Each structure stands twice: as structure tokens, then as C-alpha cells.
Homo-oligomer: A and B are copies of this chain.
Amino acid sequence: MPEAAKSLNASALKVVLVSPRNPLNIGAAARAMSNFGFPELRLVNPYEVAFREARSAVKAQAVLEQAREFATVTEAVADCSLVVGTTAIGHRILEHPLRRLELGGKIIARKLASAPVALLFGSEKFGLSNDDMSYCHWLMRIPSREEHASMNLGQAVAVCLYEIIRNPSAAKAVPEEKRPAAAAHIERITEFLDTILDHSGYVHPRVEGSTHAKIRRLVRRLRLNSHDSEVWLGMLRQIRWKLAKHKPEK
């Protein structure tokens, strides 16, 4: 099972492009579907040339080959028990309940477990018409800026599908850190650095004690991992050796 679609019934989602006109956009929508593991693309009344050209697009062949064409929205969503339209409009009074993507995506992801869901995207120029929207149970809005709300079709599809596959527990997960360096290594690094700074004339004899403590804290704040501490030790050992060789007589 692909990671993106883990524990998600991704094939129950039907991505429906209504009257798409631009082959690049059809191809981009298919590519995002392939990236996120959604196999079922449906096209309502596509501009034929655009659809033919999109089919030759690289990187999303499987999705495009299985894409189905429909004459009307009614037919394209006939087997779906939830139909959701996407829109860039946030404020115009709509006849439909409007949900932000963060919430809508969650509802869709849950629904997919039990029933097919259609997610409608309108044409590049006009979005979904009022007639298209009348087939929808509710509308979903990507939270873009009011001043420039209208998104590119391929990008809108990508963002919606990402929200649907998004795994909230991944946001809480703390990434695995590399094994931290052992205290003994850190202490050896501190000693090497001490010696090097001493040989370099950095440490003033009068404040030697407090400088050593400062350096000890400084090295600990590096929070070195085990691998990197070895590399640092190697570098410092070499520098110390070189400096000792050339150590001027006091």
C-alpha cells in the first residue's frame, strides 16, 4: 500500500473535472492524483483536443488511461453518496453550506471509508456553474487570499488531495534524532579544544579557569550526535597535533 493512501480508501474518491479546457491542467490534475495515490479521474464534457493531448502527458499515464468521460455532471456523480464542489469564493452568499478545506478534507477522508465521494473542480476560467453546484451536498473552499483567491486547476487539485491524505499524527511525531554523542566523547572534544586554544594563545592565563568552563558549556550546546562527534574529534586531534609540532618555546 502506498504511504500516501495508508488507511485511506483512496479509490473511493472520484476526482471530477467539469469542462476542463487546458491539456496541461488535465495532466497536472492527473499527476497530483498519481502522487497522492488517487486512481479515479472523471471528466465531464472535456474539450476533446485537450483530453487527447493530456493523455500523452508523462508521469500520470495510469490515471489518464483509466479516466472516464461523461456528458453531464449527473452521470459523473451517479454512484457517489457524497458530492462536494470546490470553489474559490468565500464571501458571496451561496446557496450551499461552505466548509474550509481543513474541515472538508477531514469529512471526505472519513466518508471514503464507507462510500464513494465525488470531488468536483470547475473549468479554469469560470469554476463550477450554479447548475454544477446544484448537484453538490456542500462546497469546499481552499483558504486562499481574498485578493487573489482563484487557483490554478492543477494546484487546487494537489492541495485538496494533500489535505485528504494528510496525516495529523505525522504532525505530532517527533522525528528520530541520531543517537546523541556519549558524554565521554563530548569531554574529549572539550579537552582537545582546550589544548588547541591554549596552544593558539586564545586562553589568557589569568582567566584560564572561567574560560575552560565557558568552553565546556559551549561544546555541550552543540548537541552533537554520535557520528558527528567522531568527525569533530578527528579534526581537532589533527589540529592539536599540528599545533603541538609547531608549539613555540615559551
Residues of A within 8 A of B (CB): 2-5, 24, 28, 31-32, 34-37, 59-60, 90, 97-103, 105-106, 142-152, 154-155, 158-159, 162-163, 165-168, 170-173, 175, 177-178
Contact = CB atoms under 8 A, between A and B. Distances in A.
Contact of A103 (B3, B100, B171): B171
A94 B149 CA distance: 37
A80 to B, nearest CB: 21
A162 B159 contact: yes
Given A102-B171, A168-B102, A142 B162 contact: yes
Contacts of A90: 3
A167 B154 CA distance: 22
Nearest to A174: B103
Number of copies: 2
Contacts of A31: 151-152, 155
A35 B171 contact: no
A97 to B, nearest CB: 6
Contact of A175 (B2, B99, B172): B99
Nearest to A2: B145
Contacts of A28: 152, 154-155
Given A28-B152, A28-B155, A170-B102, A35 B145 contact: yes
